Amino acid sequence: MGISVLIDTRLKPAYQGGKQMYKNDNLCGPIVRDLRKKGRIEPYKEGPTSSRFGVSANEWEEQIKPALSSRTSVQERSERFIEALIIPHLYPYLPRKDDGDTATSVWYEEYFEDRGHRLYGGNSDIGGLANVDWHDAVDHWDSRSFRPLAVL
């Protein structure tokens, strides 16, 4: 039995001082804006309140992911490092083929050592798609976002 997934084919935005946004973010954007408005995730001062940037890995896991899953009726998760690395190579005709050329990063599904640390990567300034590192899951970065993957 196989599993099908839906991936975000858009190019990860280039860093613009925290003001960068994913194009046509009409699914995640309103959810993030609503959760910020309700005080369930941290405010974001660097850019629009609907921005996926400035969200901690814990906020994604505990607030955004459940809200997104209830809206879409499918199971959501973050991409794993290996998925983020190979998707641009598997689909070289999609905008995402240039993901390694943008100076922003994304949180990955994997934890490091314990639930307090999460993997992230993809920043062109420090290795592009091959870049992977870890950070505290509670931290907020104006250059780091989340990228959901829907499991069917």
What is the rounded average pLDDT of the residues 81-103? 95
What is the rounded average pLDDT of the residues 107-120? 95
Contact criterion met (CB below 8 Å) for 15 and 103: yes
pLDDT > 90 fraction of the chain, expressed in percent and rounded: 91
pLDDT band at residue 72 using 50, 70 and 90 as cut-offs: confident
- Whether pLDDT at 36 is above 80: yes
- Whether pLDDT at 1 is above 80: no
Residue 43, judged by CB atoms within 10 A of its CB (0-12, 13-18, 19+), counts as exposed
Contact criterion met (CB below 8 Å) for 51 and 21: yes
pTM: 0.93
Helix (H) or strand (E) holding 71: helix 65-72
pLDDT at 74: 87
- Whether pLDDT at 89 is above 80: yes
Q: If you search the block for the tokens 């592009």, which residue do you land on?
A: 128
**Phi, psi angles (nearest 5°) of residue 150:** -95, 130
